[in-house]
A and B are shown apart, each in its own frame.
Chain A
Amino acid sequence: MTAPAPPTTPADTSTPANTSTAPTDASTASPAATPTRRPLPVPDEQSAPFWAAVARHELMIARCARCGAFTHPPDIICPHCGSTDPGFTFQPVGGRGTVRSWTVVRQSFLPGFDVPFVLVDVELAEQSELRLIGRLLDGPDAPLRVGTPVTVAFEDVAPEVAIPAFELAGEA
């Protein structure tokens, strides 16, 4: 009905698929052969509170001081009320949401990600269409459908650096 049954082995990235032209290119070599670090976020003036919270394993989302709507990621103008002075502040959210779509990534174009891994497109419970995309840490065989409940999780990827992700919320 949905995605095809996942193969048990990762895609053969040495195949000259249309997206990788040179089989010998170092960037297409197996990640296991050249362990590298995932790209890390570079906090800026606006995003620093977000990344500081995530490092403490807390999810906070930018909220407009004028209309109260959440926006992710924060912008220079509030996309909800149009304020050019939105005064965004990061507010804690519950981290619960539902899966709107997902994919199993078998060929990563970024360094440092072991394949396969699952990405989920999650709508947070706090606000309609408040959507985050992150890895689902339950593995590529996790049962997923549109509406599957998930909750935020955190991956510690470097000292003082964590990345928000998700895991199945279970029956609770």
Chain B
Amino acid sequence: MSENDAARDDQARGDRARGDRARGDRARGDRARGDRARGDRARGDRARGDRARGDQQHSGGSASGATSDRQRRSWARSGQQRRGRPSNEVAVVGYAHSLVRRHAPEPLGVLAVDTARRAIADAGLEVADVDGFVSASMFPTAGAHAVEDGTSIVSSQWMAAHLGADARYTAGFDGVGALTGSLALGVNAVASGTADYVLLHRALHNPVGSYHANPMKAAVGWQQWTVPQGFFGPLQMIALPYNEYLARYGASREAMAAVLVEARKNGARIPWSYWHGKPLTAEEYLAAQTLVDPICRYDCDIPVDGVATFVLTSAERAADLPNKPVYIAGYASGLPPRRRLAQHWPLDDIMDAGFGLASRLWERSGVGPAEIDLPQVYDGFSPFVYFWLEVLGLCPVGEAHRFVQAGGIDADRPDGLPALSGGGALGNGRMHGVPQMLECYLQLSGRAGERQRDKATIGVACHSSPHYGGAVVYSAVPF
């Protein structure tokens, strides 16, 4: 950066600091006025209202047209009341994504560094500009695979060191909703001035051999309560709440075929996807034997080697960079309501916590489900699609299976909700929330190429389960 740029940055920081103080005063005023109970009730009413609006919009099939200035002013007004820092203060300004393969020929760390260098260049920056590094290193296998930095995972510190960066801040998120959690670390680092340009990465590895099989002979600690009983691994974890859903709402595997067909249709159009050029038919889906009823192989995202990297910076600095920024309007994470046996995820736990997450998400981002025109629901296991559609208020509770079966998430239909337009995990490979975030970035920045949608202004990217995961609202314009 030139000295002029630096001076302008300092000026911008000063302006922002003054703005921050003003906002801080307002926030303190809100708290002083705030009657906690009243606030909670208001939030509840709002959440119900939002859901009702969502129902109206989608059952009517009349997806709203281009976002009007009036709508945007309305968000801004509500945002002043509801939103806090750092809504829309931080933006995604560049990205790179590796090929998604079953087994990459190069070590994961090599793939990660190459992808990071491409993302930094894509953002119009140099490695020396990047001073913050955030990521999540979870290696989501139940198998007995070694965790080795640079080989099976890539931590933020490993990335910073191997890029040769002059890092001022490195951090890793250790929860389940990995992408939301690590993005939040980056957003807050930028908003607080801890770092100016933050690289967010996610590196996923598929080890040789069975992904989840575990030869364990002795169940120690927390595993003694589930493993000797035969309860083990993510497929069983998701099979129980999915079966609860089927029993409670009269859903069938036939409905889920629509989810798989949609994810693989969209994934087949993405050049770097593992499933590029390989759509799936409903017949193929339904012919697959179940592994852990009612879950079959196609309900699970396929383990892969792949890396995605994004660059974050302040909205002010983003204005000087080559790509159209995509603003982070708000984020929220889930919190399980009860302590359970390991990997015991009852349906009510997922949904109860999910409604809380959604309520916080709308509050923090200043928008509701009716304003979302690019909802990218998480689909690492296919039932998550139902859970997210329902907790976000995009369809009524218990109705997601009918909604998808009726073509409700067909991204090619003018009235369809493009909930898996980025292919999701089922259509790309086990990239842990990356396809959802990337689709929001590409569409809202106008960089989706042949896949560019006419209307994409507010997106939400979900990751993991609503009760352990998170969601982020992205906006094409700051409001």
A residues sitting closer than 8 Å to B (CB atoms) are 1-4, 6-7, 11-12, 15, 17-22, 25, 27-28, 37-44, 47, 51, 71-73, 75, 79, 100-111, 113, 117, 119, 121, 129, 131-135, 145-146, 157, 163-165
Q: Mark B134-151, 1 if CB is under 8 A from A, else 0.
A: 000000001100000000
| B-side contacts of A146, CB under 8 Å | 244, 247-248
Is the CB–CB distance between B292 and A121 below 8 Å? no
Measured CB to CB, the closest approach of chain A to B336, in angstroms, equals 11
Is the CB–CB distance between A12 and B289 below 8 Å? yes
Is the CB–CB distance between B290 and A11 below 8 Å? yes
| A-side contacts of B298, CB under 8 Å | 18
Residue of B nearest to A108 (CB): B230
Closest 4 interchain pairs by CB? Answer: A27-B213, A18-B302, A17-B297, A103-B239
B233 at the interface (CB under 8 A from A): yes
Is the CB–CB distance between A106 and B210 below 8 Å? no
Measured CB to CB, the closest approach of chain B to A97, in angstroms, equals 14
Residue of A nearest to B349 (CB): A129
Residue of A nearest to B250 (CB): A1
Q: How many A-B residue pairs have CB under 8 A?
A: 196
| B-side contacts of A3, CB under 8 Å | 243, 246, 290, 293-294
B43 at the interface (CB under 8 A from A): no
Residue of B nearest to A13 (CB): B291
Within 8 A of A (CB), among B279-321: 289-295, 297-298, 300-303
Is the CB–CB distance between B289 and A163 below 8 Å? no
Known contacts A44-B220, A133-B344, then 18 further A-B pairs from the complex at CB < 8 Å, ordered by chain A residue: A1-B250, A1-B252, A2-B294, A18-B300, A19-B210, A19-B235, A25-B213, A27-B215, A41-B219, A100-B244, A102-B240, A103-B236, A111-B215, A111-B217, A119-B236, A133-B240, A134-B230, A165-B229
Contact A73 to B222, CB < 8 A, known contacts A4-B290, A37-B217, A39-B217: yes
Is the CB–CB distance between B221 and A44 below 8 Å? yes
What CA separation (Å) do A94 and B454 show in the bound complex? 62
Is the CB–CB distance between A106 and B341 below 8 Å? no
B residues sitting closer than 8 Å to A (CB atoms) are 102, 142-143, 206, 208-233, 235-236, 239-241, 243-244, 246-248, 250, 252-253, 289-295, 297-298, 300-303, 338-341, 344, 346-347
Residue of B nearest to A10 (CB): B289
| A-side contacts of B339, CB under 8 Å | 71, 75, 79
What CA separation (Å) do A149 and B56 show in the bound complex? 41
> Can you offer 18 A-B residue contacts whose CB atoms are under 8 A?
A1-B250, A3-B294, A18-B298, A27-B209, A39-B218, A43-B224, A44-B224, A100-B346, A101-B241, A102-B243, A104-B290, A105-B236, A107-B235, A109-B142, A109-B235, A111-B216, A119-B231, A133-B344
| A-side contacts of B302, CB under 8 Å | 18
Is the CB–CB distance between A109 and B213 below 8 Å? yes
Tell which of A21, A51, A113, A164 touches B208, judged by Cβ atoms closer than 8 Å: A21
What CA separation (Å) do A45 and B470 show in the bound complex? 36
Is the CB–CB distance between A105 and B210 below 8 Å? no
Measured CB to CB, the closest approach of chain B to A18, in angstroms, equals 4
Is the CB–CB distance between A22 and B303 below 8 Å? no
| A-side contacts of B230, CB under 8 Å | 38, 105, 108, 110, 113, 117, 119, 134-135
What CA separation (Å) do A47 and B346 show in the bound complex? 24
Residue of B nearest to A163 (CB): B228
| A-side contacts of B244, CB under 8 Å | 100-101, 146
Tell which of A25, A44, A106, A109 touches B293, judged by Cβ atoms closer than 8 Å: A106
| B-side contacts of A12, CB under 8 Å | 289
What CA separation (Å) do A113 and B277 show in the bound complex? 38
Measured CB to CB, the closest approach of chain B to A90, in angstroms, equals 13
| B-side contacts of A4, CB under 8 Å | 253, 290, 293-294
Is the CB–CB distance between A1 and B246 below 8 Å? yes
Contact A7 to B290, CB < 8 A, known contacts A1-B250, A121-B346, A131-B340: yes
What CA separation (Å) do A45 and B219 show in the bound complex? 15
